[in-house]
């Protein structure tokens, strides 16, 4: 007797899943771009500023979008996934910088000089990112379950308003501060410059956060009453 195989049509992704997947990819990509761009200290508004500042704050709102679309557990997962990707990036760039340069390639020394210090930026970013974005996760979840599920813009402003200063302070001190063991590091800057970076970074992050608030409306809202611990 012949066996009849019935093709199974894969289930269509819900709008929540589509938005969540897109936001997850954008989150990891933005975090990598920000870490590499942070190797450049620019001079804007009369102060020093690391150039990853204009991209990185978007990750906090993207995390909020993921939390809204896929839930608290997914938001935590993407935070650790982003950290893992950045660790791999730093290790691979270290490897690439140490491989002997082909004689026909003229920029080997420049490549190593610019990208070799990426490990410190990445470590500082990962520590700051994990602590601040997990804080963002808890504040966001507290807001929607204990305060109000309305006023979606407010949940973004409140959660980012608490987590961004934590992130900025940790990142600036760990990436550029003259802390024990790293006082002679190539990226170590005078504390006056570190303060400048902190002030400008926090100001820019606040502006980018406000500009990114509309992203939270990319998907419909969840029923936050169904599962307070992992809605």
Which pLDDT does position 28 carry in this prediction?
95
Q: What is the pLDDT of residues 144-184, one digit of tens each?
A: 988 988 888 999 999 999 999 999 999 899 988 999 988 88
Reduce the secondary structure of the chain to three states and give it as a string: CCCCCCCCCCCCCCHHHHHHHHHHHHHHHHHHHHHHHCCCEEEECCEEEEHHHHCCCHHHHHHHHHHHHHCHHHHHHHHHHHHHHHHHHHHHHHHHHHCCCCCCCCCHHHHHHHHCCHHHHHHHHHHHHHHHHHHHHHHHHHHHHHHCCCCHHHHHHHHHHHHHHHHHHHHHHHHHCCCCCCCCCCCCCCHHHHHHHHHHHHHHHHHHHHHHHHHHHHCCCCCCCCCCCCC
Q: How confident is the model at residue 39 (pLDDT cuts 50, 70, 90)?
A: confident
Q: Which residue has the higher pLDDT, 219 or 86?
A: 86
Which pLDDT does position 1 carry in this prediction?
54
Which pLDDT does position 44 carry in this prediction?
78
Q: What is the pLDDT of residues 1-38, one digit of tens each?
A: 556 555 545 555 688 889 999 999 999 999 999 888 88
Which pLDDT does position 12 carry in this prediction?
58
Which pLDDT does position 140 carry in this prediction?
92
Residue 118 has pLDDT above 80, yes or no: no
């Amino acid at each position: 007797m012949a066996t009849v195989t019935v093709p199974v049509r894969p289930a269509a992704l819900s709008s929540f899943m589509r938005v969540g997947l897109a936001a997850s990819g954008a989150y990891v990509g933005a975090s990598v771009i920000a870490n590499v761009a942070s190797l450049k200290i620019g001079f804007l508004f009369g102060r020093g500023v690391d150039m990853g500042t204009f991209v990185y704050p978007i990750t906090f709102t993207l995390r909020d979008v993921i939390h809204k679309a896929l839930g608290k557990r997914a938001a935590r997962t993407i935070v650790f996934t982003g950290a893992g990707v950045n660790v791999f990036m730093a290790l691979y760039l270290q490897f690439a910088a140490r491989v002997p340069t082909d004689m026909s390639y003229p920029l080997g020394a420049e490549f190593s000089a610019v990208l070799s210090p990426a490990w410190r930026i990445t470590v500082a970013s990962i520590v700051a990112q994990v602590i601040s974005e997990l804080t963002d996760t808890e504040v966001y979840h507290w807001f929607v379950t204990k305060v109000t599920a309305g006023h979606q813009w407010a949940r973004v402003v409140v959660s980012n308003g608490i987590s961004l200063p934590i992130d900025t302070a940790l990142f600036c001190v760990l990436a550029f501060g003259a802390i024990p063991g790293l006082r002679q590091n190539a990226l170590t800057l005078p504390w006056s410059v570190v303060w400048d970076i902190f002030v400008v970074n926090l100001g820019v992050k606040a502006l980018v956060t406000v500009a990114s608030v509309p992203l939270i409306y990319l998907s419909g809202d969840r029923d936050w009453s169904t599962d307070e611990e992992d809605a």
